[in-house]
């Protein structure tokens, strides 16, 4: 993304908030054998520089902070200054305190160096896919994540998770232990390859799902390659790929013995003339409207403009909503003029009516795909819309303004808008409070809407909701998030099973939050293994496993026998994984009375345990929103070919 001018670059490091060093039990014995531990003396500063806030990859809750290196940092001696130690130190400097890994023979030496770094905790996962999902969840809570796998068999396994992180604009460092440097160009065949002497298959696959790739197979430019890759991940807020030859990690090199070279993240600035023209045109467009509205989209995350959106909502008085994929990004759910989730025909009550009847709407950071548009059925007209993306503004059918940063635009626009509360007054006039589920007989089978009513009562500033793909999305959209309550989903990529690894990673990155994960049985069967890693890390998340016997969302789109799955004894499975090691509590509920008691226990005597709650519901018990959604998506998927 181009800029019109750049101020003097600011040197910075990003780090975590002084977390105590931890190591997983299964790695402590191994780490005791490492004698070349690296010390990093640094002091933590607050993230105050406004020029940096638009550039530094960090979560919207502001967990990441800047480190300025102190004068007491000592250059590592020749015996300690290795490629592996440099990479480990770099990860700590950018705020990575936990690295998710799966060992393989090409990355074992590298893992030794990561273990030797006092600021890093190595978390071994059951498979590479979950390691990638965990790094995704960690990046959501801490601003940046990292995973380490082995050559090709590990890389091609983790790539699905990396693609999901790319779609969600998450900075993630994917590190692969690569072949011996002598094997490149040698015409030799290696195991873990596809049987060809060309080792570029993995690299070529990653080129489409990462913003930068580095293959480190010599020491001369290793430091430059690693630093450039990490810098690019932070700059672009996207995953990067780093392959490191397995025989290089322990070899000293002069470039690693120097003091760390701080990253220079120059702020992206708007072209002032273009910005002024865009604000002028937008203000005229909105001020002449009778009932304008605002809608927050998921690209607010990459633009770091979540708070600015809220400030504009405060000043303008506009009714404002969030797209489903942006839930949790803006802290407006208790705002006086918040009207809910805009998702076309499956919006929360009365929201779509207000948005789609407006004579002007400002969408900040939207993504309009077949899912967010409910099969391309949104009743939004281009001529009524101002579309604000991280670096450009489009006003109706008229002008497009490039080189305009979203933060700059929203801040300047707030000074030019006339206050207009008409749309919210219309909403308030037609709004009818949500009804409570009808009270049924005692011991009646539990219904999903009753379950989420109880989950709503569990939420606080000390919780985060992880919503798995599928019908859970619709139920979780109705949750009203208390101030400070986190919320994460993967709506653009929608990879089922993502939530298990993401729960592990998010909880590792935010130990002060209790994660409440809502997962369907079909999704859980994809990635269940890493419940064991949650136990090993002594996490106390609450998992609601919704057992309805199959892929309900797919059944509503297009039903068939393939949507039924083999039922598991899920609590029995988790008990077997627990195996008496760590704190774990499992239970199964079938009615509301049991659910109420279970939640009381999870928040009381078992608050320090990983709580796994299997909820038995009817296969056809879905949210009302899923029914029209499934039909519209089916219609979009089955459109006849256009004659050529």
Please, are residues 51 and 136 in contact by the beta-carbon 8 Å criterion? Answer: no
The pLDDT tens digits for 353-388 are 999 999 999 999 999 999 899 988 899 999 999 999
Average pLDDT, the chain: 85
The pLDDT tens digits for 496-521 are 999 999 999 999 999 999 999 999 99
Does residue 11 surpass a pLDDT of 60? no
- Residue 562 sits in the same domain as residue 620: yes
- Residue 574 sits in the same domain as residue 623: yes
- Residue 282 sits in the same domain as residue 395: yes
Arithmetic mean of pLDDT, 285-299: 97
Does residue 37 surpass a pLDDT of 60? no
73 falls within a domain = no
**Listing from the earlier edge strand, what are the strands of the sheet with 584-589?**
486-489, 463-467, 514-520, 542-547, 610-616, 584-589
The residue among 470 and 565 whose pLDDT is bigger is 470
193 falls within a domain = yes
67 falls within a domain = no
Q: How confident is the model at residue 557 (pLDDT cuts 50, 70, 90)?
A: low
35 falls within a domain = no
Q: What pLDDT is recorded for position 59?
A: 44
Q: Give start and end residues of each alpha helix (H) in 177-305.
A: 201-206, 222-236, 272-287, 300-303
Does residue 324 surpass a pLDDT of 80? yes
Arithmetic mean of pLDDT, 307-323: 97
The pLDDT tens digits for 572-618 are 999 999 999 999 999 999 999 999 999 999 999 999 999 999 999 98
- Residue 501 sits in the same domain as residue 620: yes
CATH number for the domain that contains residue 279: 3.40.50.1220
- Residue 280 sits in the same domain as residue 239: no
CATH number for the domain that contains residue 549: 3.40.50.970
56 falls within a domain = no
52 falls within a domain = no
pTM: 0.85
- Residue 528 sits in the same domain as residue 590: yes
Q: What pLDDT is recorded for position 218?
A: 94
Lowest mean pLDDT segment, chosen from 15-19, 98-102, 179-183, 435-439? 15-19
Percent of the chain with pLDDT over 70: 84
CA–CA gap between residue 642 and residue 644 (Å, rounded)? 6
Q: What pLDDT is recorded for position 34?
A: 30
- Residue 318 sits in the same domain as residue 372: yes
- Residue 309 sits in the same domain as residue 248: no
Residue that is last in its domain, among 372, 401, 430: 430
12 falls within a domain = no
281 falls within a domain = yes
Residue that is last in its domain, among 204, 229, 256: 256
- Residue 224 sits in the same domain as residue 280: no
CA–CA gap between residue 208 and residue 162 (Å, rounded)? 10
The pLDDT tens digits for 525-551 are 999 999 999 999 999 999 999 998 767
The residue range of the domain holding 396 is: 272-430
Q: What pLDDT is recorded for position 28?
A: 33
- Residue 187 sits in the same domain as residue 280: no
**Environment class of 210 (CB within 10 Å of its CB; exposed 0-12, middle 13-18, buried 19+):** buried
User: How many folded domains does the chain comprise?
Assistant: 3
Does residue 425 surpass a pLDDT of 90? yes
- Residue 481 sits in the same domain as residue 539: yes
Backbone phi and psi for residue 488, each to the nearest 5 degrees, phi listed first: -140, 145
Q: What pLDDT is recorded for position 407?
A: 96
- Residue 194 sits in the same domain as residue 163: yes
CA–CA gap between residue 183 and residue 446 (Å, rounded)? 60
Q: What pLDDT is recorded for position 268?
A: 85
Q: What pLDDT is recorded for position 637?
A: 79
């Amino acid at each position: 993304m181009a800029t019109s001018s750049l101020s003097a670059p600011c040197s910075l490091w990003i780090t975590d908030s002084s977390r105590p060093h931890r190591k997983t039990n299964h790695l402590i014995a191994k780490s005791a054998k490492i004698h070349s531990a690296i010390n990093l003396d640094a002091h933590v500063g607050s993230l105050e520089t406004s020029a940096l806030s638009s550039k530094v990859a960090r979560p919207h809750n502001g967990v990441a902070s800047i480190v300025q290196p102190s004068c007491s940092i000592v250059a590592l001696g020749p015996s300690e200054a290795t490629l592996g130690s440099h990479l480990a130190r770099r990860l700590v400097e950018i705020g990575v305190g936990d690295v998710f890994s799966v060992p393989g023979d090409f990355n074992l030496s590298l893992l030794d160096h990561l273990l030797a770094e006092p600021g890093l905790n190595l978390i071994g996962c059951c498979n590479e896919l979950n390691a990638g999902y965990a790094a995704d969840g960690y990046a959501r809570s801490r601003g940046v994540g990292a995973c380490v796998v082995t050559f090709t068999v590990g890389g091609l396994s983790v790539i699905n998770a990396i693609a999901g992180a790319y779609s969600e604009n998450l900075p993630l460092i994917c590190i692969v232990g690569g072949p011996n440097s002598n094997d490149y160009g040698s015409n030799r065949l290696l195991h873990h390859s596809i049987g060809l002497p060309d080792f570029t298959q993995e690299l070529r696959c990653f080129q489409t799902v990462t913003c930068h790739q580095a293959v480190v197979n010599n020491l001369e430019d290793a430091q430059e390659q690693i630093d450039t890759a990490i810098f690019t991940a932070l700059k672009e807020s996207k995953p990067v790929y780093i392959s490191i030859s397995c025989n290089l990690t322990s070899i000293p090199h002069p470039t690693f013995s120097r003091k760390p070279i701080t990253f220079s993240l120059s702020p992206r600035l708007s072209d002032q003339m273009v910005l002024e023209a865009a604000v002028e045109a937008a203000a005229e467009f909105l001020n002449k409207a009778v009932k304008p509205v605002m809608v927050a989209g998921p690209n607010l995350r990459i633009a770091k403009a979540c708070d600015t959106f809220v400030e504009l909502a405060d000043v303008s008085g506009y009714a404002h909503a969030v797209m489903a994929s942006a839930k949790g990004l803006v802290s407006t759910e208790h705002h006086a003029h918040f009207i809910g989730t805009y998702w076309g025909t499956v919006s929360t009550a009365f929201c779509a009516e207000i948005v789609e009847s407006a004579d002007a709407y400002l969408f900040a950071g939207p993504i309009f795909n077949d899912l967010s548009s409910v099969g391309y059925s949104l009743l939004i007209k281009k001529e009524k819309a101002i579309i604000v993306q991280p670096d450009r503004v489009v006003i109706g059918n008229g002008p497009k303004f490039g080189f305009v940063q979203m933060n700059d635009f929203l801040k300047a626009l707030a000074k030019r808008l006339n206050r207009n509360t008409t749309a919210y007054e219309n909403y308030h006039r037609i709004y009818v409070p949500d009804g409570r589920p009808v009270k049924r007989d005692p011991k009646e089978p539990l219904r999903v809407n009753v379950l989420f009513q109880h989950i709503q009562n569990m939420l606080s500033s000390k919780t985060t909701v992880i919503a798995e793909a599928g019908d859970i999305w619709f139920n979780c959209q109705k949750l009203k998030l208390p101030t400070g309550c986190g919320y994460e989903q993967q709506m653009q990529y929608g990879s089922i099973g993502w939530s298990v690894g993401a729960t592990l990673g998010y909880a590792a990155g935010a130990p002060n939050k209790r994660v409440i994960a809502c997962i369907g049985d079909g999704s859980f069967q994809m990635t269940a293994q890493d419940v064991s890693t949650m136990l090993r890390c002594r996490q106390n998340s609450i998992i609601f496993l919704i057992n309805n016997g199959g892929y309900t969302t797919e059944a509503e789109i297009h039903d068939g026998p393939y949507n039924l799955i083999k039922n598991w004894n899920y609590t029995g499975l988790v008990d077997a994984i627990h195996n008496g090691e760590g704190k774990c509590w499992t239970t199964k509920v079938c009615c509301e009375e049991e659910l109420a008691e279970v939640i009381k226990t999870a928040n009381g005597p078992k608050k320090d345990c990983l709580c796994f709650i299997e909820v038995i519901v009817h296969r056809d018990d879905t949210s009302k929103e899923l029914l029209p959604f499934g039909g519209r998506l089916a219609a979009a998927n089955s459109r006849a070919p256009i004659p050529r």
